[in-house]
């Protein structure tokens, strides 16, 4: 009943929601069990997720009438730089920083700006995603979008390292942050030499795009057979255009199916900040983001977005995500191989 009201308040904010059904045993992460949020809170939101994140934030606000939430949106790197500038000037504006990029989180950690996350909050997360000074919110998988009229999923090798020899035409977005995180993962897993070699081999035939949405659009238009992109671009494209001739393939246990996350850093040690993070980890919010934004929930027992196989059936590589913030050696490799 109360949950319905929460969802109604989301609906009132303008989105049409059809909800995944919950099993009644999963009540422990519900918004019902959380303390009310009271006071002023400033959130720096490092992405522009249209109405969806807005709807979640609006719903949280309408449940907590005494919460005065200020949101500043911007590119993750620009907000991270602004937070560093503020701390140098002794000004604190942001209580929380929600970043798409584990690189930005690494910068906050390196500058000593992130506050520790309480143990009980960590224990709600899937075991692979527990970190002491930041809280992952949702995940995204590296995927191989492919054109369904030109090739079949079985034509795509399930080993990212042998992809260049598959004879398929490839699209990529080397200047894009998600792609650089993926190359960083490859560098950590396979080593510098193998990664340089891979970059050189792909470069021979690859077509470059500005961003990964463009890569997926390029695949759909048949400009290329396959591409490298985060999973949600394809799912969102298909949501608006169900007849789109594009589908997703996954590699096995390598950087090609890396699961990266967006995460929140607490910059002030208010209880309000950590309690706010608890709201983002609820069943309601996680299911909503999975269902509407096609993001991967990181709390146990919540259904995956439609259109991708369950997280357990994908075999992502084991990697400490904060290590992905070490971007400089990656940029160097990419420049040395002429990719950038």
Partner 1 sequence: MSLWPRSYPPALAVASFALLPMAVLFLLASDADSFFLEHHLHLLSNTLLLTLGTVLGAMLIGIPLAILTSYVQLPLGALWLIVLAAPLALPSYIGAFTFYAAFGPGGEINNVFGIETPSASGLIGASIVMALYTYPFVLLTTRASILSQDASLINVARTLGMSLPRAIMSITLPRAMPAIATGSLLAALYAISDFGTPAILGVDTFTRDIYIEYNAFGLAKAAVLSIQLLCLVTLVLFLESLFRSEPGNTGQPLSICLKPLHITVVFLTVIPIALLAIMLPLAIFTLWLIRDGSGDFDYQIAWNSTYVSILAATFAVFLALPVAYAAIAGPVGRLFERVTYFGFGIPGIVMGTALVYLSLQLPALYQTLAILVAAYVLRFLPLAVGTVRASAENIDSSMTKAARILGAGPLEVFHRVLLPLTMRGVVAGGALVFLESMRELPATLLLSPAGFETLATYLWRVYEAGYFGRAAIPGLLLVVMSGFGLALLLMGERRAEFGLTNKK
**Which is closer to partner 1, CB of 31 or CB of 237?**
237
Which part of the chain contacts partner 1 (CB under 8 A), choosing from 10-18, 31-39, 159-167, 300-308? 10-18
Strand partners, 42: 70
Asked if 91 and 102 touch (Cβ cutoff 8 Å), the reply is: no
Asked if 89 and 48 touch (Cβ cutoff 8 Å), the reply is: no
Strand partners, 140: 260
Indicate which single residue of 170, 217, 265, 333 sits in contact with partner 1 (rule: CB under 8 A). Answer: 217
| Interaction between residue 233 and partner 1 (CB under 8 A) | yes
Cα separation of the two ends of the chain? 54
Binding mask 86-125 for partner 1 (x = CB under 8 A): x-xxxx-x---------xx--x------------------
> Nearest approach, Cβ of 333 to partner 1 (angstroms)?
12
Binding mask 270-299 for partner 1 (x = CB under 8 A): ------------------------------
Asked if 137 and 261 touch (Cβ cutoff 8 Å), the reply is: yes
Binding mask 170-209 for partner 1 (x = CB under 8 A): -----x-x--x---------------------------xx
Task: Give 13's DSSP letter.
Answer: T
Indicate which single residue of 8, 17, 36, 78 sits in contact with partner 1 (rule: CB under 8 A). Answer: 78
Pairing verdict, β 96-99 and 39-46? parallel
The per-residue DSSP string of 200-249 comes to: HHHHHH-EE-SSHHHHHHHHHTTS-SEE-EEHHHHHHHHHH-TT-SEEEE
For residue 229, give both structure tokens. Answer: 């992109």
| Interaction between residue 14 and partner 1 (CB under 8 A) | yes
Indicate which single residue of 115, 143, 214, 337 sits in contact with partner 1 (rule: CB under 8 A). Answer: 214
Indicate which single residue of 48, 116, 191, 309 sits in contact with partner 1 (rule: CB under 8 A). Answer: 48
Structural Rg of the chain based on CA atoms? 20
> Nearest approach, Cβ of 220 to partner 1 (angstroms)?
8
Indicate which single residue of 223, 252, 270, 311 sits in contact with partner 1 (rule: CB under 8 A). Answer: 223
Asked if 113 and 267 touch (Cβ cutoff 8 Å), the reply is: yes
| Alpha carbon distance 256, 258 (integer Å) | 6
Binding residues for partner 1, per CB under 8 A?
13-15, 42, 47-52, 70-75, 77-82, 85-86, 88-91, 93, 103-104, 107, 175, 177, 180, 208-210, 213-214, 217, 220-223, 233, 236-237, 240-241, 325, 327-328, 331, 335, 338, 340
């Amino acid at each position: 009943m109360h949950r319905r009201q929460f969802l109604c308040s989301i609906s009132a904010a303008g989105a049409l929601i059809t909800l995944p059904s919950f099993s009644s045993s999963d009540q422990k992460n519900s918004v019902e069990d959380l303390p009310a949020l009271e006071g002023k809170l400033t959130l720096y939101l490092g992405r522009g997720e249209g109405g969806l994140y807005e709807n979640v934030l609006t719903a949280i606000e309408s449940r907590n009438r005494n919460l005065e939430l200020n949101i500043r949106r911007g590119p993750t790197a620009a907000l991270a730089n602004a937070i560093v500038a503020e701390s140098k000037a002794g000004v604190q504006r942001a209580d929380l920083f929600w970043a798409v990029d584990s690189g930005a989180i690494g910068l906050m950690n390196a500058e000593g700006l992130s506050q520790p996350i309480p143990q009980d909050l960590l224990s709600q997360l899937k075991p692979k995603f527990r970190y002491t000074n930041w809280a992952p919110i949702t995940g995204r998988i590296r995927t191989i979008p492919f054109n369904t009229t030109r090739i079949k999923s079985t034509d795509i090798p399930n080993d990212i390292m042998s992809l260049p020899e598959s004879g398929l035409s490839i699209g990529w977005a080397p200047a894009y942050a998600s792609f650089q995180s993926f190359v960083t993962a490859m560098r950590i897993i396979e080593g510098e030499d193998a990664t340089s070699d891979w970059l050189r081999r792909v470069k021979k035939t690859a077509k470059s795009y500005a961003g990964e949405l463009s890569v997926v659009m390029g695949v759909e238009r048949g400009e290329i057979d396959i591409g490298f992109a985060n999973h949600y671009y394809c799912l969102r494209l298909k949501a608006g255009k169900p007849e789109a001739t594009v589908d997703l393939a996954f590699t096995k246990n390598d950087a090609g199916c890396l699961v990266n996350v967006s995460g929140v850093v607490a910059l002030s040690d208010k209880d309000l900040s950590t309690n706010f993070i608890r709201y983002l980890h609820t069943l309601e919010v996680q299911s909503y983001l999975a269902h509407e934004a096609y993001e991967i929930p990181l709390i146990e027992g919540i259904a995956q977005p439609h259109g991708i196989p369950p997280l357990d059936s994908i075999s992502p590589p084991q990697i400490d995500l904060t290590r992905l913030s070490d971007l400089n050696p990656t940029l160097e490799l990419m420049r040395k191989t002429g990719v950038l």
